Amino acid sequence: MRRVRLLITALTLLLASCESYDCTLYNYVGLYGSFYRGGSAVAISDTLTITSGRKGIVLLNQAVGTSSLNLPMSYWNEEDTLVFSIKGNGYQARDSVWIAKSNLVHYESPDCPMTLFHTIQSVGSTNEFIDSISIIRSSVNYETTENLRIYLR
């Protein structure tokens, strides 16, 4: 009886050890950006709202004192459109930003969910209150480093 229990315990441990998955727990892929004016990092003291251009989904809602962004990117579109709306004392402005990108399927194992990494190819804007945008790091993946620098007027 003791041998049977020992055998069942050993088999249970062996089977349980085969079920260990090596999936990353932090699998968020996001676009990181910062605001600059005159070469220095700044915070936008006015109210900033960012929506996706095609469907108008709110990505950032009425943020005040924002100095950086962390936004999701579309999975399969080759270009993302973001609409930046800023409201201050007596003024309101909107700027559209286009991000051309390529999408790369990232696959770790059959047990892990699929994610998409992106490579930013170009960025443009309507230049209402955004002066220019520089690509600092074109690869958008699990890393939380700055991808874009948004220079304000």
* Segment 21-44, tens digit of pLDDT: 567 777 788 999 999 998 899 999
Domain residue spans of the chain: 26-152
How far is residue 92's CA from residue 105's CA, in Å, rounded to a whole number? 39
Tell me the sheet residues that pair with 31: 71
pLDDT of residue 5: 73
Block residue for tokens 């005159």 = 38
> What does DSSP assign to residue 76?
S
Cβ atoms of 31 and 69 closer than 8 Å: yes
pLDDT at 140 over 90: yes
pLDDT of residue 20: 54
Q: What is the residue-averaged pLDDT of the chain? A: 88
Cβ atoms of 117 and 106 closer than 8 Å: yes
Lookup: tokens for 12? 């249970």
pTM strictly above 0.85: no
